[in-house]
Structure 1
C-alpha cells in the first residue's frame, strides 16, 4: 500500500516532531486517510527495531479498523489486541480499547512502551486517557506520545496542552477539496430577522447559551422561513439540520413533516433503538432530512448528505467545521448507485460563519501546501508550537484575530484551484486519445482510469482477471482522486514505476500484435502508453457497461 504525497508529508513532519519534542499532535480531517497516516508514523518509529508501540481508540470498531489498516501499511510488523475479549501484548504493536486498558488491573499489565499513539486524540484530556498516558510515561519516561484528530478544540475547555507541546502538521479541509477527496462547500448566510438578537446571546463556559438561542430561533415564523429557503436552495438534497435544544429540534422536525418533507429526529437522550431506527430511515432515503442536537457532529457519516443547515451559532470554529464536515464526504457509487454529488450546500441561519469567517475562505482553497518543513508560530496563550496557517490553536483554543468579512460579501462564491493530481500522482497517467476524455494509469497489480461522458466524469479501477469496479462519478478531480487512491491501495513504491526508464522504450512486438493497426504506425508510442491502451482495449466492454450503467442510474435518480 502507498501513501498520497500529502500523506507522506504529514508522516515526515510527524516523525520529525516526535524526534524533536518527544510528543506531537497531528490534525487531519475526514477524507485525509488519518488511519493510514498514523499507521505509517508508528511503522517508521518502531520498524526494524525491538521497540513496542500501542495504538489507543475509544470504540471497538475503531480498534478493528486501525489494526486492519496498520497491517496493510506495515505487513511485516506483528500486532495484538487489548479489548473486552482479548488482552495480549505479544505483538510489536498492540491495539487497545481505552475503556478496557484504563482499568487498574489491565494497566498493571502495561509493558514498557516506546510509542503511544492516540487516535481521536481530542479525547486525550479525559481522565481514562490520562491514566494510560501517565502509566506509559511512568514505565518509560522516554515513551513518545503521538495523537491524531480532526477536531482538537473541545467545547469543555479541556485543552490538549498538558499532553502535547506542539502540532506537527495540520491538513486543512481546503487541501482535501482541491485534491478531490472532499466536495466543496457552498455557504449561504441567511438572515431571517434574528442575527441581531443572536449577536447579543452570551457565551457560557462551553458554548453560547442555547436556552437563549432557543428563545430566538424556536418560533414558527423563523422555522417557516428556514424551510422556504431550504426548498429554494437545497430542496432535493439529503440534509442534516443542527438545532439549539431538544425542544427546538422537535419543533423543526414537526414543521418539515407538516410541510410534506419526510424528516426524522435524533437526540442524545433518545433510546438507542429509536436513534438507530431514525438514522436507518435517513440512510435508506425514507427521510430526506435528519434533525439533531449536538449528536451528529462526530462519529456519523452518510456520504449522500449534500446539505447542512445551521440553526444555532457555535462559539468554537472547530464545532462549526464538524457540523459542515458532515456534508463534505465524496460518494462511492458502488455503495450508493445513482447518487451524484458535486458539492455541499451550507445554509447558515445563525452567526457562525459571520463570527468565524467563511469556511471556504478560512481553509484557503486557493492556497498551496509547500514541501519540506512546515513554517510554525508560537501560541501566545499556551506557548505551543503550531503550523503558521492555523487561526485557532489546536491545543488550547486561542484564536488569532482576523478581519471581519465585508458587509454583503458573497460567501457562497469562490474560485477553487485544484491540485494537479496528474503531476503529484505516484503513477504515470496516459491521455489515451489526446482529447483528455480517457485517462489510464497502470501498476503491476492494478490499473485506474477516468472517463468523460455527457458532462460527467467516471472513475474506474481494476485488477488482472477481475471485473473492474466503478469508483466515483461527478467532478474530474474527485474521480481522479478515487482512481489514484485505488492504485495506491493495491501497489507499492516499487511497483508504481512512474520514473522507470523502460517506460519510455518502444513497444514490444507482443504489445504491437494486440494493438489496432493505427497504433502500430505511431512511431512515438512508448511501451507504457501501449500498456495503457491495451488495458483499455481488454477492459473496454466492462468500462462501457459501468459508465453507461452509472449514467442511467444517475438520470433515474435525478428524475426521482
Structure 2
C-alpha cells in the first residue's frame, strides 16, 4: 500500500469535488514526480471499495506492465488488455489496457470509471471511447496538458503543485543545463521547415534528422559528455533512429558503453538494455521518442538533448525523465545540444495553464509567458543562466555587459556606444580587478604585464595604462579567483592549439 502525501490527497479531493459539481471529464495536471500512477491507484481502490470497476488506459503497450505492478502493490485485482497478454474478467478491480488493443478489440462495456494516462497524447480511439460512454466519468492524467484542443474533450483542469515547489520540497532533484555549440546547430537548422506534427507545431522530422545527424554535431556531443557528465547515467533524445544509432556508435568508439532502443526493438532486447542501464553496465541509453513519455528509470542523472523541438510539451516531457529522485542522486545535468532550454526553459520554469486549450485562438493566446524567455547560455562554458544573473554559476565568469565598451580618454575611463548605460563598470571596479590580477601574477612569479591582457579579456578590449602596473596588488575575491582560474585554462588551450599548427 502506498501512503499518500498531503498534496496527492488534496488533488484527489479536488477531483471528487469536481464530479459532485457535474464535471464528468476532468484532467489532473500532475508534474513529473507527483506520482500520477499512485494517485490513480488510490482512486481505483476507492472505486473498487464501492463495487465500481475501473479502466486504466496507457498510450504505449510497453507501459502496461509498469502500471500493472503499481496497481497490484495496492492490493487490487488487476486485469490486462494488451495483445496476446490479454487476461481480464468482471472480478478484476481494474483493467490496464493499451489504446492500441482497445482500437483492435474494443474495451469491456461494464466499466464505471475510466482513467487515461498521458491524456495529451489523445488518439481517435480515446475520443471514440469518450463519445460512446457518455455516462462514464473520465479522468485524464498529464504532466503537460498543453495540447491544442484538449479542452474540447475535457471540461476541467485540476492542478497539482508546480515543478518548482516539488523541487524545493525534495520530491524532485534540481537541474542545471549547458548549451554548447549553438552556432553550428543554428546553421544546421536553417534548411529545416516547420509543420504540424504529433507534438504540435514543430520541425519536420525527416528534414530535422538529416540536418542534425552530422559527425561535427555528434562529435561535439560526445566531447561535451566526457567533459561535463562526470560519467553519469545518461538518457539521450535523438532526432531519428539513424541519428540515435550514430550517436551510440560514436560513444562506443571512445569506450563509453551505450545502447539504442526504439519502437521496433524486440521486448527481450529492450528489457535487457534497460536492465543494463539500471545496473550501470550501459552509461548512455539513446532513443527518439521511446524515452520521452512514461519511461520510468529515475537512475538517470544526465540528459542529452540532441533533438531540437519547438514543442514546449515534448521538451518538458523529456526533461521529466531526468529529475526524478533516486538513491544517491543529487541533481540532473542537461547537455542541451538542441537549443531547447534557452527556448523553453528549465524544469522549474514549467507552469500549467489556467485552463485547458479549447482550440480557439483566444484560448491559445492565453498561454502565459514565463520568465524563461530570456534564458541565455554563458559564452565561456555554456551554462544556461537566468536573465538577472551577471556572474555565471558554472564557471564564475561575468556575462558580457551590454554597456562594457570602454576606452581611455586622457587617462580617464569613459563608456561609449549606443548601449552605454549606468551599468558600465566604474574606474574603481576595474582597478580592483587589476590589483587582483597583479596579485595573482606576483604570487605565480610572473611579469605584471600579464595583468594588462587579463583586464583586456575581462572588460572586452579595455586597454589599461602602463602606470597601472605600479598599483598595489590586492588578494582576489572568490569571484575574481574563479575568473582567473578559467582565464588560465582558456589561455592554456589557445597556446596548445597554436603549438599544433604546422
Q: Do the aligned partners of 1:306 and 1:328 also contact (CA within 8 Å) in 2? A: yes
Number of aligned residue pairs? 369
Residue 286 of structure 2: which of 283, 287, 291 is its match? 291
1:168 correspondence with 2:158: yes
Q: Distance in 1 between matches of 2:229 and 2:104?
A: 52
Structure 1 match to 2:234: 239
Q: How much does 1:14 deviate? A: 1.7
Structure-1 separation of matches of 2:16 and 2:342: 37
Shift in Å, 1:288: 1.5
Residue of structure 2 in register with 1:126 after alignment:
123
In 1: Cα distance, 2:377 partner to 2:117 partner: 41
* Paired position in structure 2 for 1:342: 330
Q: Deviations over 1:348-401 (max 9, x none)?
A: 11121122133333369xxxxxxxxxx9457574499xxxxxxxx8xx898444
Please tell me whether Structure 1 or Structure 2 has the larger radius of gyration of its CA atoms.
Answer: 2
CA distance in 2, matches of 1:269, 1:348: 26
Q: What's the counterpart of residue 279 of structure 1? A: 274
Deviation at 1:406, TM superposition (A): 5.3
Give the Cα–Cα distance (whole angstroms) in 2 for the partners of residues 131 and 174 of structure 1.
Answer: 36
Question: What TM-score results when the alignment is normalised by the length of structure 1?
Answer: 0.57
Q: 2:65 aligns with which of 61, 65, 84?
A: 61
Q: Deviations over 1:235-264 (max 9, x none)?
A: 411111111122222222222222232222
- CA, structure 1 residues 320+100, in 2 after alignment: closer, same or farther (shift >3 Å)? closer
Shift in CA distance, 354/182, structure 1 to aligned 2, threshold 3 Å: same
Whole-Å separation in 1 of the counterparts to 2:249 and 2:298: 25
Shift, 1:297, TM fit: 1.0
Other-structure match for 2:181? 191
2:384 corresponds in structure 1 to 411
Secondary structure in 1 matching 2:264: coil
- Report 1:121-160 matches (<5 A): 121-123=119-121, 125-137=122-134, 141=135, 143-153=136-146, 159-160=149-150
Equivalent of 1:360, from 333, 345, 348? Answer: 348
Q: Map of 1:305-320 to 2, 5 A cutoff?
A: 305-320=300-315
Q: 1:65 to 1:149 in 2, by over 3 A?
A: farther
Alignment-derived partner of residue 213 in structure 2 = 218
For the 8 Å contact 2:178–2:377, the answer to whether it is kept is no
Q: Structure 2 length as normaliser, TM-score?
A: 0.63
Whole-angstrom distance in 1 between the partners of 2:248 and 2:313: 26
Contact residue 321 and residue 359 of structure 1 kept, 8 A: yes
Per the alignment, do residues 194 and 214 of structure 1 end up closer, same or farther by CA in structure 2, a change over 3 Å counting?
A: farther
Contact 2:54 2:111 in 1 (8 A): no
Can you give the 5+ residue segments of structure 2 that lack an aligned partner in the other structure? 389-502
* CA–CA distance in structure 2, aligned partners of residues 237 and 163 of structure 1: 41
SS in 1 for 2:196: coil
Aligned to 1:449: none
Is 2:263 the partner of 1:268? yes
Distance in 2 separating the partners of 1:229 and 1:90? 54
* Aligned-CA RMSD value: 3.6
Measure, in 2, the Cα distance between the counterparts of 1:192 and 1:6. Answer: 39
CA distance in 2, matches of 1:304, 1:104: 35
